[in-house]
Structure 1
Amino acid sequence: MRSFFRVLSDRTATIVGSPWAFVATAVVTLAWLAVGPWCGYSDTWQLTMNTAASQVTFLIAFLLQSTQNRDTRALHLKLDELLRTHQGARRQLIKLEEWSDADLEALRHDFERLRDARGRGGPAG
């Protein structure tokens, strides 16, 4: 089941992110608008598009989130491997994504102090 869902979410993300998906959505929307006068802009006409759009959005949100979660996990593993193998890297930064918000904020302040100590204050502003 998990493998099927992974394949489904990957393919959905690829399709939904393509220019063809945008074109198809635009065509469906224009067709729906063109049918409006014929239906007298009835409540059913509006409800049809409203319901379809809501359901598609709801389902795609879960599929895209699944893909995003997997990509994020893979990225973290790659970064952890770089930290593990790079001489001089702080090994405690491995699994940084599991730190508390307070610990992350403290680390951000440490990096700001390092940046300021080196005289790299960023762009003038």
Structure 2
Amino acid sequence: MRWRFRQISDWAVSWAGHPVVPVTLVAFAVIWTAVGLSFSFPRGWFLLTNMIGTLIIFFILLLVQHSQNRDMMALHAKLDELIRSSKAGNHWIAVEKKNAEAIEGMRRQHHDQISKTAN
């Protein structure tokens, strides 16, 4: 089930990111509004359209966020492996899980070490 969701979400995110999609949606909205105004559709029709559009946007937002979170986890794993295999200090591994003050302290300490070696 999990791999199926990943497959569907990857497909939906790549489809939603295609450059033709926004142009098509704007054209569809203009045509929909023109047809609705010319045939005097009731106000509820436009409210329903607005609700459906909002739900679709919310769903796509969640899919994009899911995809971005997965990509960031993969990126962090790759960076951690590069740190492990290099001469860099292993204290930088999984630094993204620390709080902001700890990260800032590590950054300042690293900057101070670079300044001392440069002088």
Distance 1:45 1:95, change over 3 A: same
| Corresponding position of 1:61 | 61
Segment drifting more, 36-45 vs 99-108: 36-45
Task: Give me the whole-angstrom Cα distance separating, in 2, the residues matched to 1:116 and 1:71.
Answer: 34
Deviation at 1:23, TM superposition (A): 2.0
Segment drifting more, 5-14 vs 31-40: 31-40
Segment drifting more, 95-104 vs 44-53: 44-53
| Corresponding position of 2:51 | 51
Gapped regions of structure 2 (runs ≥ 5): none
| Corresponding position of 2:17 | 17
Q: Percent identity?
A: 32
Deviation at 1:14, TM superposition (A): 0.5
Q: TM-score, normalised by structure 1?
A: 0.81
Write the letter of the residue equivalent to 1:106. G
Write the letter of the residue equivalent to 2:25. T
Please tell me the root mean square deviation across aligned C-alpha atoms, in Å.
2.2
Deviation at 1:76, TM superposition (A): 0.4
Q: How many residues align?
A: 118
**Moved beyond 6 Å, runs of 4+:** none
Whether 1:83 aligns to 2:87 is: no
| Corresponding position of 2:95 | 96
Deviation at 1:41, TM superposition (A): 6.8
Gapped regions of structure 1 (runs ≥ 5): 120-125
Task: Give me the whole-angstrom Cα distance separating, in 2, the residues matched to 1:25 and 1:6.
Answer: 25
Deviation at 1:46, TM superposition (A): 2.5
Task: Give me the whole-angstrom Cα distance separating, in 2, the residues matched to 1:116 and 1:48.
Answer: 62
More helix by share: 2
Segment drifting more, 2-11 vs 35-44: 35-44
